[in-house]
Chains A and B, each alone.
Chain A
């Protein structure tokens, strides 16, 4: 399938906050609690439509444990959007947001759109971080904010799509230079002269043919 733009996302946050589950819910529309823990990085992709334009989201799902920060840092490069996830039932995952944010800001493009996500709203009875706290943190640091449940799928679509909308608006405003791939945005294969580094499907199929 062809697309007008490709946006690279990265999902970050402490281990066990539900990063991989959010990704799976968004790409496959299912919840799989026994998904193997993430080592290194995993990929997901889905096509969405904004303003009548087909946009492919290429999503990098990272490992959360502190030991792996140094490798995760190398994945920020060229990301147009980041989902910074914490678990509303574990306060420590919320308190660690500051260091995650520092990392993200330091190693990414300055225009990268960051969406703060408080996940696991299905576990309301065990809530440890108030929604207002998440909102306040987001306001203070200029992030967009949503609470989600990867289990019930509540707000999952919205989280990914709103991030894309924000990026799309930035493109319209000319903040993002779409010709510079370091911004995490690529123009779809039929919309530009082909480039030697255009995203190509595995085994050399035509670009955009469902790679990741």
Chain B
């Protein structure tokens, strides 16, 4: 195990400590396989800095893993250390596959200044192991000392950092900076100011008061952060630590009680989700099946069955118009053919009445009606640039563009408070393609908007709520990605904005978006299933994002670039499988269950006592609730 010494001894590397027989432990993938990689633990000094490193014993392509030795810290790979059997690890996208092959190696190198905490294993519990967590949220896999020696290692580490024992977890140790190490550092190195000193000097020059005061405030923040560490550690770190330790999982009810009054500081405990099951999809719902469902009066026999079929397989293209009208509340699902004919007649009248309202506004009136004028000009501009490459909307003077315009203008009259907001034309375009009729398209669009209108709030409150809900789901279902995004300025998930705003319209090809929307319109298998679609796509992209160490810009750009290259069926399967995991997991927090509508089952769940809440969680009583604003 000493043969790799040369890699580290170039430059001025001084070896302080070395211990062989230390195994990186990757705990279970989807099939609960454990992966152990043999290696050695090293503490060394390089360029005046101290590094804690774990080096794999067999470095197959080590030469390529070493160009980063000048960096403050190098984490060549945090997640992709799969065994060579990983080929059978279920379907992965092309890109992901490439990434896994590229980054099969694992090598941990942490500048001790970046070390935030470490967690030791329980004394009696098999091999001793240690888990490192960096300041940026990175949590390394547990390192198992098969030949012992953790205590010796910790003693060495203590020579370079001062360590506080956590008050809440006796096996968690926090690296403190407030003693010698902190004093030794210049302001510059501490990065108190988030900007370079020259910039700071400029600021002091131009605005001495503000610059000085904000500088002092940061010093105070620094002291606060470092002196009061145990109380103020971000929740993400806490959660991650709990992850690895089955005996340390708190009673779910205890955590939730504490959260209820302070949603901003909710602690979502991450536990191991049940294994992800393979979900099957079926063929589209066909015209023959549809005929079978109608009785002599044209009444639908079993609407729930149809919805299930649509959820599992979508709808045959030729039948879409018919079924979309039911999914989008154009017709009542218990109506007869005769009643549907009457409904349609009524809707026809209603539509033209509203259309006449805006059609009959004179130029003079319009000149005194700025809100209307603005909507009109915006709709004009936007219908001219909506899906113009689709055959239905192609070419100059296309009559369907005029129809798109008329429907959106009439919608303004129907819901003047909301009016027209960019993105609506994207939602209408596929509906008009299918319905091919202005009136039908309008009323189906109304039905669609009922489900998603809060996306278009002027203050964007609806969008913010959705992204927050997505964040809640992600925090629980994939803490590693959540933590990664948080530490890369992307915790607000704004990079999913377009996905959510127009329900993935720009992410999938036309045929796929129709399939996806009809699936979502069934409201199955839970509320906010579109957020699980987000999780599924993020899950597929996770390795690429993390292994490339993408920052704010790279993440946003990468997600943008996925447009039209996402595999829909795979995504649908994965999203449903994630739903099943959340549903089956006894520790799924209340917040998460609420987002996907699994919480309660009675409308006055707010009135439930804590004990009841707890029982409910423990016994995993899942009910589908079908009343919230953001269901699709």
- Would you list which residues of chain B between 533 and 561 have a CB under 8 Å from chain A? 544, 547-554, 556-558, 560-561
Task: Say whether, besides A67-B457, A74-B492, A203-B98, A180 and B195 are in contact (CB < 8 Å).
Answer: yes
- Would you list which residues of chain A between 175 and 203 have a CB under 8 Å from chain B? 175, 177, 179-180, 182-183, 193-197, 199-200, 202-203
Q: Does A65 contact B (CB under 8 A)?
A: yes
Bound form: Cα–Cα A40–B423 in Å: 10
In-complex Cβ contact of B382 among A37, A194, A200 (8 A): A37
* Chain B residues whose CB sits within 8 angstroms of the CB of A34 once the complex forms: 384-385, 388-389
Mark each residue of chain A from 36 to 73: 1 if its CB lies under 8 Å from any CB of chain B, else 0.
Answer: 11011111000000000000001000010111101100
* Chain B residues whose CB sits within 8 angstroms of the CB of A65 once the complex forms: 378, 421-422
* Chain A residues whose CB sits within 8 angstroms of the CB of B387 once the complex forms: 36
Q: Does B510 contact A (CB under 8 A)?
A: no
Bound form: Cα–Cα A183–B421 in Å: 33
In-complex Cβ contact of B71 among A15, A180, A182, A196 (8 A): A196
Bound form: Cα–Cα A77–B558 in Å: 18
Interface hit among B156-164, B270-278, B496-504, B516-524: B496-504
Q: Does B381 contact A (CB under 8 A)?
A: yes
Q: Does B494 contact A (CB under 8 A)?
A: yes
Contact between chains at A200 and B497 (CB < 8 Å) = no
* Residue ID in chain A nearest B458 by CB atoms: A67
Q: Does A211 contact B (CB under 8 A)?
A: yes
Bound form: Cα–Cα A11–B498 in Å: 18
Contact between chains at B385 and A182 (CB < 8 Å) = no
Contact between chains at B502 and A39 (CB < 8 Å) = yes
* Residue ID in chain A nearest B384 by CB atoms: A34
* Chain A residues whose CB sits within 8 angstroms of the CB of B194 once the complex forms: 182
| Residues of B within 8 A of A (CB-CB), count | 59
* Chain A residues whose CB sits within 8 angstroms of the CB of B501 once the complex forms: 39-40
Contact between chains at A42 and B560 (CB < 8 Å) = yes
Contact between chains at A199 and B198 (CB < 8 Å) = no
Mark each residue of chain B from 551 to 584: 1 if its CB lies under 8 Å from any CB of chain A, else 0.
Answer: 1111011101100000000000000000000000
Bound form: Cα–Cα A169–B549 in Å: 31
* Residue ID in chain A nearest B455 by CB atoms: A67
Contact between chains at A43 and B557 (CB < 8 Å) = yes
Contact between chains at A193 and B70 (CB < 8 Å) = yes
Contact between chains at A36 and B386 (CB < 8 Å) = yes
Contact between chains at A203 and B95 (CB < 8 Å) = yes
Q: Does B199 contact A (CB under 8 A)?
A: yes
Task: Say whether, besides A177-B199, A179-B196, A68 and B549 are in contact (CB < 8 Å).
Answer: no
Shortest beta-carbon distance, B174 to chain A, in Å? 23
Bound form: Cα–Cα A199–B549 in Å: 10
Contact between chains at A66 and B548 (CB < 8 Å) = no
Mark each residue of chain A from 3 to 16: 1 if its CB lies under 8 Å from any CB of chain B, else 0.
Answer: 00000100000011
In-complex Cβ contact of B550 among A15, A70, A174, A200 (8 A): A200
Task: Say whether, besides A36-B385, A180-B199, A74 and B557 are in contact (CB < 8 Å).
Answer: no
Contact between chains at B102 and A16 (CB < 8 Å) = no
In-complex Cβ contact of B549 among A41, A180, A197, A203 (8 A): A197
Bound form: Cα–Cα A85–B456 in Å: 24
Bound form: Cα–Cα A195–B389 in Å: 41
Q: List 24 A-B contacts (CB under 8 A).
A: A8-B553, A15-B378, A16-B378, A33-B384, A34-B384, A35-B385, A36-B506, A37-B422, A39-B422, A39-B502, A43-B557, A58-B553, A65-B422, A67-B460, A177-B199, A179-B196, A180-B195, A183-B199, A200-B548, A203-B99, A203-B548, A204-B102, A204-B103, A211-B554
Closest CB pairs A-B (n = 10) = A34-B388, A40-B498, A16-B381, A180-B196, A177-B196, A197-B551, A65-B422, A40-B497, A39-B498, A37-B385
With A33-B385, A34-B384, A203-B548 already in contact, 4 other A-B pairs whose C-beta atoms are closer than 8 Å: A37-B382, A41-B556, A175-B202, A202-B561
Chain B residues within 8 Å of A, Cβ to Cβ = 67-68, 70-71, 73-74, 95, 98-99, 102-103, 194-196, 198-199, 202, 377-378, 381-382, 384-389, 421-423, 425-426, 456-460, 463, 492, 494, 497-498, 501-502, 506, 544, 547-554, 556-558, 560-561
